[in-house]
Structure 1
Amino acid sequence: MATIVMEKLGRVFINLQQIKEVPRMLTEAAPSMPGTVRDSDVPHYFRERYICSGYRPLNQGWRYYFLSLFQRHNETINVWTHLLAFFIFLITLGQLTETVDFVGDHHSWPLLVVILSSLTYSSLSATAHLLGGKSELCHYTFFFLDFVGVAQYQYGCALVFFYYSVDESLHRHVHGIFMPLATVLSSMSCLGCCCGKYCNHSQPAWVRKLGQAVPSALAYLWDNSPVTFRVLSGSTPSNDSAIIYHYGHMFFFFISTFFFLYPLLEYCFPRRCNFIGQSHQVFHVFLSCGTMCQIRAAHLDFVGRRKLYSRLHLSGDTALFVRLYVVTFILCALIAVFMLRKVKQMLDLKTKKK
């Protein structure tokens, strides 16, 4: 009996010894993470207003920036807000596949496009905030991709609003131009955002924000016009459950736009928002909430207004609109490549001057 007890105690001791070795093994498996630095230690184009510390050092290995996903720095919350939103959108897609035939029912394709575009913008945004601090070239590259994601999402918004939410009277006037113009406005939004980021090294912050916000606002007003017209016309029945989600989407959009344009929290609490409490973090949260409201509203319209939209749209419209989505994505990607070439020319010129 005593022998058995001693054997069990020995096993427990060995297990405890192995547990104690875990921190050492993790330390050996992953390199030590450099500490964050102050704003004075990074170039000015990486600095955000009122954010004084928590910046990651430049020109580290890729492994460092990937592992910084679990480090405390001033981009951590920006990464995780959109990373969590990505998984929420993915779960939502999985739930909808149980009741919606995304393959056989061509009327469901606009709903699929807006969910896929939501997954794209949230993943590209998280990537930009995670990896954009490696170098100046990486900063521009990943944020240009972020702007491509935003622009293609704007087209997805236009598609579900026009396809499911439009009233017959408005459809009669804009059916031939609505989606092509949505492609143009999305591309202009991508161009404006890329130009605003490109001018970051030479223009004040408000000029950059304005250059990004104005084209995006024009795209939003056009994309959301079917819902706006539907609400203002009074044609929505009182028992329409989708309308509250449309209101929610608009509310969250305007709130998120305010926090995108103006760093209110940083201004009110200077030097206290280096890690959490940044206006851009709030912008991410409200934008994701607005997207969820939009997906919910689109699904309810998809179910509840089927007789109307199946009569308004021709059988080949969905395929045409999906092709336009691909065209929009390609145009925005080409804009990003063009602007990236200008960035490389600028960086080469700066290198030659040194």
Structure 2
Amino acid sequence: MSSMGLSGPIYTVHQVPEHFKEHFIVRGYRNPKSTAKQCILSVFDATNETFNFWTHFLPSCYFVWVLKGLSETLDFRNDPYTWPLLAYMFVAVIFPLASATAHTFNTMSEEMRHFCFFLDYGALSIFSLGGAIAYRAYSFPSVLVDTWFGHNFIFIATMISVIAVVLSCQTRFMKLSFLRNFIRLGSFGFSYLFDCTPIMYRLIFCSPEECALPSQSQHARQFVFAFSAAIFFATHFPERFYPAKFDIFGHSHQLFHVASILGTMDQMQAILHDMVDRRMLLQDSWWFPSFSGSVGVIGAVMAINTCTIAFFSLRLRSFVKSTKSS
């Protein structure tokens, strides 16, 4: 029996198509052919997607508020030193907003479900790149700045970011398998690990001056939250062990959202501390003198990701037809 919400009937796992089922989630499914209006109303229903929406929509609003406050104290228009921060704050707003949007509208159709996740992958890609740009600008270990790794860090991060979107989108056309999960998780996992390599190095081999920076503890705590998010995502805990107990509130994807946002907040605070505390040191050899080197890179990768998503979206109709016929 299905229950009723503001958006219409709420289904059990046995009442929805295979492609809309979530591991170990029994109740709280929305109509797999929802209208846009039903999708919007569903964020006020008790569904298994409701808190997935709010745990990313509200942080996106918070990051907008932080960006507004920074814009009142920093000269984003004329000060090159602030441009990498502007790039980072922009993508910090975009990635949870894209995720919230994907979780809202992914039940309009099977094609829309794939498209929503394409958008989610693209947003994760530019957020990863934005973090790399901010790290290179403000948090890079001094000993690595004038090295091959330091000089090529942004270029490599950009390539990894673009490749991650291509690979993750391609997995939407693969059958459920270990390889599909490995490629999807591995593409963004590798991107995150590469971007954070200089921070890991700084935490382990910091100079006396770097060890004394207030941001050290926030950088370290960010890794704790990131590791926790990965564990929740990979293990499907707690619903794996308690089916039907955490369908609406407290399941692994919601905990994954919360841990990833807490990690992002620590990352943001650490970057802001480094930006202020290391300014005198960094400005002597400033690496981002042009707007195109930071915000421009984000814009270029967003354009590439848009083209990538458009390409894979064009393949959706024939793919969905083939899966239904088979």
Tell me the TM-score normalised to structure 1 length: 0.85
**Identity score, percent:** 27
Q: Does 1:124 align with 2:98?
A: yes
Quickly say closer, same or farther: Cα 1:32–1:163, change in 2 above 3 A: closer
Stretch deviating more after TM superposition (333-342 or 178-187): 333-342
Greater gyration radius: 1
Q: How many residues align?
A: 320
Q: Does 1:249 align with 2:226?
A: no
The Cα shift of 1:176 comes to 3.0
> Secondary structure at 2:136's aligned position in 1?
helix
Which residues in structure 2 correspond to 1:145-160 (within 5 Å)? 145-160=119-134
Partner of 1:292: 265
> Secondary structure at 1:272's aligned position in 2?
coil
Quickly say closer, same or farther: Cα 1:310–1:300, change in 2 above 3 A: same
Paired amino acid for 2:248: F
Q: Does 1:266 align with 2:239?
A: yes
Which residues in structure 2 correspond to 1:1-354 (within 5 Å)? 33-173=7-147, 174-199=149-174, 202-204=175-177, 206-237=178-209, 238-314=211-287, 316-350=289-323, 353=325
Quickly say closer, same or farther: Cα 1:32–1:178, change in 2 above 3 A: closer
Quickly say closer, same or farther: Cα 1:292–1:67, change in 2 above 3 A: same
Q: Which runs of 5+ in 2 are unaligned?
A: none
The Cα shift of 1:242 comes to 1.0
Tell me the TM-score normalised to structure 2 length: 0.92
The Cα shift of 1:332 comes to 1.8
> Secondary structure at 2:238's aligned position in 1?
helix
Deviations 1:172-217 (A, max 9, x none): 1123311111111111221232223332xx213x443322221112
Quickly say closer, same or farther: Cα 1:42–1:323, change in 2 above 3 A: same
Q: Which runs of 5+ in 1 are unaligned?
A: 1-30
Quickly say closer, same or farther: Cα 1:241–1:68, change in 2 above 3 A: same
Quickly say closer, same or farther: Cα 1:315–1:53, change in 2 above 3 A: closer
Q: Distance in 1 between matches of 2:167 and 2:43?
A: 29
Q: Distance in 2 between matches of 1:282 and 1:134?
A: 25
Q: Distance in 2 between matches of 1:115 and 1:323?
A: 14
Q: Distance in 1 between matches of 2:92 and 2:70?
A: 15
Q: Is the 8 A contact 1:73 1:275 kept in 2?
A: yes
Q: Distance in 2 between matches of 1:219 and 1:91?
A: 28
